[in-house]
Structures are given as structure tokens and as C-alpha cells.
Chain A
Amino acid sequence: DQQVKQNSPSLSVQEGRISILNCDYTNSMFDYFLWYKKYPAEGPTFLISISSIKDKNEDGRFTVFLNKSAKHLSLHIVPSQPGDSAVYFCAAIQGAQKLVFGQGTRLTINP
């Protein structure tokens, strides 16, 4: 069963605009959520995270929003830059143990 889902395989955004990547989860026991960015032939790079006791976390151009009642989180990137083009993975964790990843969303920033 897919406990973490990213329903959009790809997203194309114009440079300078906002990119919004979405993620849904089913396990209400998840207590921490993370976003990773991945370039081809490299390992995932940690981007930003949020605890389940918060509903927003911001770091520079990146903001993660958590809606626990809807079991939904989103990553906002503003303004989007060409270097943001990559595959983005949402991940969830319970009890500081294994990460459960979504399938990823390929973000392309167009000049």
C-alpha cells in the first residue's frame, strides 16, 4: 500500500513564478515530514521539513505547509529558478525511524 502519494508525476513552471508540489499521506501516525530534491545520478538532498505539530515551516524560497486534517502537505518554491529543476520527493517518518517516500514529481522550470 502506498502510504505517501505524489499524484503529479511532472510539473512545468515559468521562471520567477511559484511552484507548488503536493503530497498526500494515509498514515495518521506519521509525525514528521520531509522534502528531498534529487538530480539524476545523485542521492536525494534534504530540502526542508516539518513536524506534525506545526502547519508551516519556511526556509528562504521554500515553504512547506501541512494540513493534518486533510493528510496533505505541499511545498511552495517562490520565486522558481532554473536550478530548481529536479525530481522532488515527499517523505514521512514515524518515530524517527525509516522514511516512507512518495513516487516523486519532476519539476521543470522554463526560462
Chain B
Amino acid sequence: DTGVSQDPRHKITKRGQNVTFRCDPISEHNRLYWYRQTLGQGPEFLTYFQNEAQLEKSRLLSDRFSAERPKGSFSTLEIQRTEQGDSAMYLCASSRRGGSSYNEQFFGPGTRLTVL
């Protein structure tokens, strides 16, 4: 299977702890996106990378959030000092810049975070 993968699929943590999620995009895709989805809402954009460069960050991404894509391949999203309001599904997507289908983003299965 060469789709987008995310790890872990589920994470339960206590308030105040740090958590880190990983995303492995489709191998030939040079763009990688992070979104967050809460119950009853559509996914909301957090940030995106083109290769290793982080090109845009949403105002939803507070100082406690940091994302990296060090070698332009996999990416990590870290949340420091988690709060109950951080509980959500964190989705990663990737796309290929250029070509006829460059607008289409393909999503991974998501990481469901529960902060107790």
C-alpha cells in the first residue's frame, strides 16, 4: 500500500503532556499538509510544507504546536503542554506539485488524540 500513513492511530494523554505524531506521505508527493478535525466539523488547515520548507501556518497553530519535515519526506507534528481543547482527529495529506492532478490532496487515516 503506497498511501499516506500516520502513526499512531490513537493517542490518549493527560493534560500537560507532550505528544508527537508522524506522517509518511505518498513517496512522489512533495507537498504535505496537516489538518485538524473536531466532531461535527470539516477538517481545518493547520500548516503545509513543500519539500522541507514550511510555507504556511494557520492562526490555529498556537505556540504549543510545531511541525517539521526535516528531509522533505516524513513529517512530525508536536503538541506541547496539551490541553483538553486539543482533543481532535489530526489528519495528514499529501499532493504532487505540477501535473494535471496537483490540486488533489490524499489523506491518511488520521491520529485521534484524546486529552484527559
A residues adjacent to B (C-beta < 8 A): 4, 32, 34, 36, 41-46, 49, 89, 91, 93, 96-104
Whether B104 and A44, one on each chain, are in contact in the complex, defined by CB atoms closer than 8 angstroms, is no
Asked, given contacts A34-B104, A44-B91, A45-B107, whether A97 binds B40 with beta carbons under 8 Å apart, the answer is no
Contact flags B91-116 to A (C-beta < 8 A → 1, else 0)? 10101010000111111111010000
Q: Return chain A residues, CB-CB under 8 Å to B91.
A: 43-44
Instruction: Rank and list the top 7 A-B pairs by shortest CB-CB distance, nearest first.
Output: A101-B42, A43-B107, A98-B45, A32-B103, A44-B107, A43-B110, A43-B109
* A4 nearest CB across to chain B (Å): 8
Distance, CA A44 to CA B45, complexed state (A): 14
Interface size class of B (residues with CB under 8 A): 20 to 34
A-B contact pairs, 10 of them (CB 8 A): A41-B110, A43-B4, A44-B43, A91-B42, A96-B97, A97-B55, A97-B56, A98-B56, A99-B45, A104-B42
- Chain B residues numbered 2-46 whose CB sits less than 8 Å from any CB in chain A: 4, 6, 33, 35, 40-45
Apart from A34-B105, A36-B107, A96-B102, 13 more pairs, CB < 8 Å: A32-B103, A41-B110, A41-B112, A43-B91, A89-B43, A96-B103, A97-B48, A97-B55, A98-B33, A100-B45, A101-B42, A101-B44, A103-B42
**Which residue of chain B is the closest to A33 with respect to CB atoms?**
B103
Least CB distance, B44 to chain A, in whole angstroms: 7
* Whole-angstrom distance between the Cβ of B40 and the nearest chain A Cβ: 7
